[in-house]
Amino acid sequence: IVWIWVGNIATAIPEKRERGVEAFREAAALYEGLVAAQPDNAFWRLKTGDSYLGASIVLGALARWDEALASARQAEAIYSRLESIDPKSEYYRQERVAAQGLRAKALLGRGDLGSAEPLLLEAERVMLEQNASQPANVLLRERLAGVQSDRGWYHELRASRSVGAARTRQWQMALEWSRKAERHLDELHAQGRVPMGGTEELGRVRRRIAECEAALRAARRSRT
């Protein structure tokens, strides 16, 4: 558990993120050893999934997308297995969906928009349900903001591959989803409830909003 906390702290500090990767991988190796010794122990499996989830987050922050994708897939497989054993567990479902969202993010980072889109749509659908049932849960709300931010990124990437009216429409959609993410993060920030990394994500979302607004202004000028 100590290694996971080291990884979480290091992830929030840009210059320490490489150490964060090491910490999460050390945690995963430790818990995998415990799973091998006690294969029926669900807690060790859960902590192994948490380690891979954390690794995917920090690897994504470092733009090491292939590694982030591999870690997200490992986390998702572990949580899916736990969920199949205990389908009533809302916690296992939450973590599986979080891993799915990270898999989508890594695919976006690799430029595979087609594979990322259905994962983003499903992750957001489930996260909206989770947030509605647990509105005071800060982590769930941050995750919802994250996947909506990634939907904004998806449309921004689509805009870069489009022309004419289709490109303008993609910029508009990128702006719409980014503003949704901004509202969640703004409210958490105003309440002093932003989790580790939330302030950085808010800055990233606001930069995307500015890019979208500039692109749409340019598109309007070109039509006049």
The residue with tokens 């695919």 is: 107
Model's pTM, two decimal places? 0.91
> Residue type for 30, please?
L
One pLDDT digit (tens) per residue for the chain, 224 residues: 556 767 677 667 778 888 889 989 999 999 999 999 999 999 999 999 999 999 999 999 999 999 999 999 999 999 999 999 999 999 999 999 999 999 999 999 999 999 999 999 999 999 999 999 998 898 899 999 999 999 999 999 999 999 999 999 999 999 999 999 999 998 888 887 766 555 788 889 999 999 999 999 998 888 76
Torsion of CA 107, 91, 52, 41, to 10 degrees: -140
Torsion of CA 54, 6, 144, 215, to 10 degrees: -90
> Residue type for 155, please?
H
3-state secondary structure of 191: coil
